[in-house]
Amino acid sequence: MKAVILAAGNSTRLAPFSDSRPKSMILISGELILERVLKQVREAGISEVCVVVGPKGEQIEEAFHFGKALGLKLSYQRQEAATGIGQALSLAQGFVGQDPEFLLLFGDCLASGNNVTHLLQQAQGRPRQNLAMITHPHLEGAYGNIYLGHDMKIQRLVEKPLVGERHSNYILGGSFLLQTPVFQTLAALHLDMVALYQDLISKGELEASLWEDEWIDISRPWHILDANRMIMSTWQQSIIPASAEIDPGVHLQGPVHLGEKVRISAGATLVGPCYIGDNCFIGHSTLIRDHSSIGPGSVIGYGTEVKNSVLFGHSTVGRLSYIGDSVIGEAAHLGSGAMTVNTNYCDQVFNLSLPEGEVNTGRTKLGAFLGDRCIIGAGHILKPGTLVAPGSVWPDHFTNPPAT
């Protein structure tokens, strides 16, 4: 069996991070999203994978090449324009060839365990069928609703539920085992993926595979924090390689995962679950709190606190700073005393004014979201929900002395 992974998505709703990378190339808990999906495919016993990439697809190809490092045989198809999921899937028809069935995965969806293995195990010993993983929505969002019959066949898909309409408890989870004739059906339906789902449902040819564990479709910047927490919640033990340098007086609590050649200075406290990537430097008397992921090559200065945040890597956070409930892009720089305010006095859920209108984040704690290569000078205080475009430069902020 072969697998097709759709990784061409580049949602503007994930800005500022989607401005400079495909969604599937976001680093969470020490792994790229697509890397985690590929490993799950390999663990499920599948070695041949076609990845459909978009305009920034060269990043994916440069990261994974032909898959040798992961024990896979990778090939690529490029979707030059955002012309829909159906068109993206159609590009893989030649790769699937004459195989009777294939695995279809969305490259920006994450599960707390290996949902690929779960899907294939459910298909064993049964007649060939089209099988769709369904799950419970982890976050509020515009998901299509799935309605089931008593035989676990999908009876109805409501792609865009109306306001006030009763919602089901299930949504599509982005993993499918499909029979190869779906390519012909898709072509006849003008490459409309939703129409393909509806056609299979109307014929009683789409069955459900229920995934009861956690699952998330990352579509907003703060969803990165939810995905990071979901993955880390499964960690039970610490990983500390021999190359890590840990000074006396460092306190480690809970599952802490360290990369190679990490240096942690005296007086630092790390509260797990947390992740520190390869070649990171953690300064004296720092506090890295639970559910923080600090990507490789980062420097965290003296006395800084990082709480429930994700740093993509190769970033610097100056001394005496506070990073809370925030996501920091790659190669960003925050000067000394930079603060991300992540709460309000009333402990209310944050609503953000975005280009498409008012958006309810569902979060009572919300920090800042800084794109790649940002420079935030010393002394800045960032209000909750601050979004900073890649490459932005904020000069150092100084308080002038009172006039004499």
pLDDT (tens digit, 9 = 90+) per residue, 300-353?
Answer: 999 999 999 999 999 999 999 999 999 999 999 999 999 999 988 777 888 888
Q: Residue 73 has which token pair?
A: 């045989």
More confident residue, 151 or 198: 198
* Domain enclosing residue 88, as ranges: 2-221
Tell me: do 210 and 259 sit in the same domain.
Answer: no
d(CA 100, CA 12): 36
How large is the average pLDDT for residues 128-151? 77
pLDDT in tens, 45-95: 999 999 999 988 999 999 999 999 999 999 999 998 878 999 999 999 999
Task: Look at the chain and report how many structural domains it folds into.
Answer: 2
How large is the average pLDDT for residues 17-28? 92
Tell me: do 194 and 269 sit in the same domain.
Answer: no
The percentage of residues in the chain with a pLDDT greater than 70, rounded to a whole number, is 95
Tell me: do 209 and 279 sit in the same domain.
Answer: no
With CA atoms as reference, report the closest residue to 247 among 268, 277, 272: 268
Tell me: do 55 and 203 sit in the same domain.
Answer: yes
**Residue 348 pLDDT:** 84
d(CA 19, CA 243): 35
Domain assignment of residue 402, yes or no: no
**Residue 123 pLDDT:** 84
Worst-scoring range by mean pLDDT, 116-120, 121-125, 249-253? 121-125
State how far the alpha carbon of 342 is from the alpha carbons of 166, 238, 334, 346, in Å.
Answer: 34, 28, 16, 12
d(CA 387, CA 271): 27
Residues 6+ apart with CB under 8 A from 182: 130, 196, 200
Domain assignment of residue 320, yes or no: yes
Does the structure show a pLDDT above 70 at 134?
A: yes
Q: Which domain CATH number covers 337?
A: 2.160.10.10
Tell me: do 201 and 324 sit in the same domain.
Answer: no
**Residue 138 pLDDT:** 67
How large is the average pLDDT for residues 10-22? 88
Worst-scoring range by mean pLDDT, 31-40, 125-134, 163-172? 163-172
Does the structure show a pLDDT above 70 at 395?
A: yes
